[in-house]
Structure 1
Amino acid sequence: MLGLPAHVRACLFDLDGVLTQTAKVHAAAWKETFDDYLREQAAREGAAFVPFDAVQDYDEYVDGRPREDGVRTFLAARGVRLPEGAPDDPPEAETVNGLGTRKNNLVLRRIREEGVEPYEGSVRFVQAVREAGLRTAVVSSSANCRDVLVAAGIEELFDERIDGVVAHERRLRGKPAPDTYLEAARGLAVKEDAAAVFEDALAGVEAGRAGRFGFVVGVDRVGQAEQLRAHGADVVVRDLAALMESR
């Protein structure tokens, strides 16, 4: 009834865009952050301002990655390299950490002002997974993962949480490396081939495939089904509830 292979014993879920409707919040915060920086840079250099694309650039360069990796990856695509700075850099600092702080502040402000809504179909699916006796984990690059889970009222649905804070403490590489998903499987005491990964980000799907997980589900919220399949998804759905309806 879950639409999963019989050998799956645990489900590992990304947060933003899979469980909660926060991917659009992150995309908007990245756009505001990068556009402000790119506009200032263009003015200094007398060049044309080319804005950050909140769909294409977001999907390709920042979605699913740790915050600082997102800054580096996108700016590298624009031929820009900034000094790393320090984790406590203020948001006005022209460093990787400074831009990351600026983006995070914008996300937190939007969450405070707008709240967090989970996807109803995802909540029903996770509840069904737990009722079937499968273990569950949330795997996110966000350092705000727990706050988002609490705000959405779904924290109790997960046996394990591997987020940006845990990844930093345990020195785990971020997606598209499989480290955080592998750590979640270890925490649930299941082998990776007995676990399913649920991801909306191309980097996250790559992580699921690189970790040789038993099943990788791509969640297509923005019309990128073919890209998700190309990056390694075994199946692509618009909503997790569709998995229960497919069997």
Structure 2
Amino acid sequence: MIDIPADTAALIFDCDGTLVDTLPLYLKAWQAALQEVGGLDVEAAWFAGRGGYAEQMLLAAVEKSFGVTLDRPAIISATRRRVRETIEGLRCNVPVITVVREWAGRLPLAVASSGSREVVEASLAAIGLLDVFSAIVTIEDVEHPKPAPDIYLLAARKLGVDPRLCVVFEDSHEGLKAARAAGMMAEDVRPCSEFRIAP
């Protein structure tokens, strides 16, 4: 059970790995796109610990690890397309979704994700929650990705609330660091992860 402080003005949720388990979809999509566009075979183990990376951060790490220069736009486009094509298999993080449903209509809710808008909105639509959030902020909306605080500060601004009165739900080191740098309270959802199909 997650307690929400009494003075909380808004709740802000990461998407991938927090609301929904897109990480397995992204893993297969990245592997396929890197093979198809870049001619690279990247083992699943390489991606371990990089689940919170924004697209450009991940590709920079691939280039450094494998000593290559990639066609980043083409790989990103192929990856997003493959994730969208498999979105029907998406699973929810039930404890976090329960918080969303409990507080919808009682507090302003936002999503602040390092993912692309097309995938984030498709993910939320797939689990029937797209219309629940008053603001959706994605990697296209900010100059600096997590762990910079930009994405969370923009979400608070769009909701019209003081960042210090926001509670953030996150599943990555980068995201938690970003939320705290924004002056927000941060809940690490990893201990309560229970991915399964939402009822």
Answer yes or no: is the 8 Å Cα contact 2:95–2:192 preserved in 1: no
Answer yes or no: is the 8 Å Cα contact 1:68–1:97 preserved in 2: no
> Distance in 1 between the 2:108 and 2:62 partners?
35
Answer yes or no: is the 8 Å Cα contact 1:64–1:202 preserved in 2: yes
> Distance in 1 between the 2:151 and 2:139 partners?
9
Aligned-pair CA distance for 1:141: 2.0
Q: Against the structure 1 CA distance between its residues 97 and 80, is the aligned structure 2 distance closer, same or farther, given a 3 Å change threshold?
A: farther
Aligned-pair CA distance for 1:151: 1.8
Q: Against the structure 1 CA distance between its residues 75 and 52, is the aligned structure 2 distance closer, same or farther, given a 3 Å change threshold?
A: farther
Higher relative contact order (CA closer than 8 Å, sequence separation 6+)? 2
| Pairs within 5 Å for 1:104-115 | 104-111=80-87, 114-115=88-89
**1:136-162: CA deviations, max 9, x gaps?**
101112222112211211112211111
The answer for the alignment partner of 2:144 in structure 1 is: 173
Q: Against the structure 1 CA distance between its residues 217 and 149, is the aligned structure 2 distance closer, same or farther, given a 3 Å change threshold?
A: same
Q: Which secondary structure state, in structure 2, belongs to the residue aligned with residue 59 of structure 1?
A: coil
**1:32-89: CA deviations, max 9, x gaps?**
3446678x46xxxxxxx7x4335x63423xx23332222113332x15252xxxxxxx
Answer yes or no: is the 8 Å Cα contact 1:2–1:128 preserved in 2: no
The answer for the alignment partner of 2:21 in structure 1 is: 21
Q: CA RMSD in A?
A: 2.6
Q: Against the structure 1 CA distance between its residues 163 and 72, is the aligned structure 2 distance closer, same or farther, given a 3 Å change threshold?
A: same
| Pairs within 5 Å for 1:141-220 | 141-143=114-116, 144-165=119-140, 167=141, 171-213=142-184, 215-220=185-190
Aligned-pair CA distance for 1:102: 2.6
Identity %, equivalent residues: 25
Say which one has the larger Rg: 1
Answer yes or no: is the 8 Å Cα contact 2:93–2:193 preserved in 1: no
Long gaps (5+) in structure 2 = none
> Distance in 2 between the 1:52 and 1:33 partners?
13
Q: Number of matched residues?
A: 193
| Pairs within 5 Å for 1:43-58 | 51-54=42-45, 57-58=47-48
The answer for the alignment partner of 1:75 in structure 2 is: 63
Long gaps (5+) in structure 1 = 42-48, 83-93, 221-235, 241-247
TM-score, normalization by structure 2: 0.82
Q: Against the structure 1 CA distance between its residues 117 and 79, is the aligned structure 2 distance closer, same or farther, given a 3 Å change threshold?
A: closer
